[in-house]
Amino acid sequence: VNVVTGVDGVASAVLLRAGEIVDGLPVARARRPAARTDVELARGPARLCAALAIDRGFYGTYLLGDPPLLQPPASAPAAVVSTGPRVGVTGAHDIPWRFWLTGDPTVSTYRRHTARARTPRP
pLDDT of the residue at 72:
66
pLDDT of the residue at 111:
64
pLDDT of the residue at 106:
82
Domain 2-101 has CATH 3.30.300.30: no
| DSSP output for 58-104 | GTT--TTSSS-SS-PPPP--GGGEEEE--SS-SSSTTS--EEEETT-
pLDDT mean by block of 10 residues, the chain; 122 residues: 82 84 92 93 90 89 76 71 78 79 79 67 70
pLDDT of the residue at 63:
78
DSSP conformational letter for 120: P
| DSSP output for 16-40 | --B----S-HHHHHHH-TT-SSGGG
Domain limits of the chain? 2-101
